[in-house]
Structure 1
């Protein structure tokens, strides 16, 4: 494999960053994860815009290179990949070991890719089964402490949630994703996913005024639902509302749309809306990338 590091393609076993890089030392970095279909990034503009917003939140908006898309294309081509996971990272770079950053920024910019199955109508899912979801005690960090819509290298919140799942696992059962709540007990999201569920009144998903990261795939799914004139509601929901749903699914760039099998051991499962939205998503990918 070859990765893109600071403007150059580098063999994977030589692709390194400095131990003094602030992304390593403090999590002082922005990143995005996206998928490439047919050799092109899916929803590039939305991912690029969110990366820019995160960098601006961290105070180094000018560090995101103008040729970032070209670096992605070069990395895909160098690895002969049309179907891929793509991760973009922009750190504040190497600076003296002090918490307060220097005003001048020489960023570290890294592009990593990994092969995935084909997407679209003739594609296959990266997941084997619908997800078993389990509520965890770890609460989502309040946006007043760490902006929830900033996608930074600091993913300790989600890691702690996933560690809870590991500790709770048995030989018979191990959950695939945690269901995280805010400090008030309102359902927010998964460790690496956004949540949707279906009731007799339509499609539901936690509101963006909560402490969640609004995903790009989440936005696409909401657009698809509205195009079909499905009722779509964003709001504040309890765990019980999700447990009692007719259907539920998770979204992120890698999973796309992943049905939820159970929530805290209670059967939920896929249904007609989940299946239809999955088909519509696959058709959008097919039309735009193949």
Structure 2
């Protein structure tokens, strides 16, 4: 394997950054995780826009255009002969004097990491899902950092909030459902959350401390195109546990059905619920698969 580090393709064993890099020292870096289908990034414009918003929040002017960043991704894919892949694009200020306050960005560190990730889809279409099976989740005690403390829209290397949430899980649980400081549903540690009740698709509103996931946005667009009613709002764990069906979204999982929710949340008095896929989840999964097919393979 070869990765792209600071403008050069290098073998994986040589793909390193300095221990004085601010991304390593302070988590002072931005990143995007993207899916590649048929050799091209899925929803590149949305990912590039979100990366720009993160860099703006960090006052990190790396000086590279969106086209230059995408070219580095393409070069890395070609070097590894990958058509369907996982890509992580990271940008930091690079090496600076060891103090908390950052200086001007003179030599940013830009890394492109890639891995083979077969295309997802539906088994009845001859395509195996990218996940091993429906997910299980647990409501955890770790709360989402308030937006006023750390902007929820900023996708940075500082992922301690998600790590602490995942550390609460048992070995058999796939995802941590994190609540906001008021006890309302926020998101998964690395995913956005959807549930269905009486044919209506619900998801926590971006008014809360929620990362605006690219796959989340695509799902909302697909729901509108299919005439599926959608409500973005404020919900508590009991709303999720009483749903008819539920699923999680991110770039690697695409749409992953949520089979069960464990954990306690104070006053609900209920610590588990059986959920799973249903007609709305299946319609949206089919629509997502069709969009990937039409945009990347036809």
* TM-score, with structure 1 as normaliser: 0.96
Map of 2:255 onto structure 1 = 257
Alpha-carbon spacing, 1:37–1:137, altered in 2? closer, same or farther (3 Å): same
2-structure distance, mates of 1:122, 1:25: 45
Map of 1:87 onto structure 2 = 88
3-state SS, counterpart of residue 165 of structure 1: coil
**Superposed CA offset, 1:156-205 (max 9, x none):** 00000000004xx5xxxx21101100010000000000000001150000
2-structure distance, mates of 1:63, 1:20: 21
Shift of 1:105: 3.2
Shift of 1:64: 4.0
3-state SS, counterpart of residue 168 of structure 2: helix
Candidates 266, 283, 289, aligned match of 1:282: 289
Shift of 1:106: 1.6
Residues 63, 105 of structure 1: 8 Å contact kept: no
**Equivalent runs, 1:73-222 vs 2, <5 Å:** 73-119=74-120, 122-166=126-170, 169=171, 174-200=172-198, 202-222=200-220
Shift of 1:122: 4.6
1-structure distance, mates of 2:243, 2:128: 26
Alpha-carbon spacing, 1:11–1:62, altered in 2? closer, same or farther (3 Å): closer
3-state SS, counterpart of residue 160 of structure 1: helix
**Superposed CA offset, 1:197-220 (max 9, x none):** 001150000000000101000000
Map of 2:273 onto structure 1 = 266
Residues 248, 270 of structure 1: 8 Å contact kept: yes
| Unmatched runs of 5 consecutive residues or more in structure 2 | 263-271
Map of 1:234 onto structure 2 = 232
Alpha-carbon spacing, 1:244–1:64, altered in 2? closer, same or farther (3 Å): farther
2-structure distance, mates of 1:163, 1:241: 24
Residues 199, 228 of structure 2: 8 Å contact kept: no
1-structure distance, mates of 2:149, 2:64: 24
2-structure distance, mates of 1:119, 1:198: 22
Which range is displaced more, 198-207 or 186-195? 198-207
3-state SS, counterpart of residue 82 of structure 1: coil
Shift of 1:60: 1.3
1-structure distance, mates of 2:83, 2:126: 15
Map of 1:5 onto structure 2 = 5
3-state SS, counterpart of residue 88 of structure 1: strand
Shift of 1:266: 1.3
Which range is displaced more, 193-202 or 244-253? 193-202
**Superposed CA offset, 1:101-148 (max 9, x none):** 112432100001000112455532221110111000000000110001
2-structure distance, mates of 1:105, 1:196: 42
2-structure distance, mates of 1:55, 1:64: 11
- The count of corresponding residues between Structure 1 and Structure 2 is 284
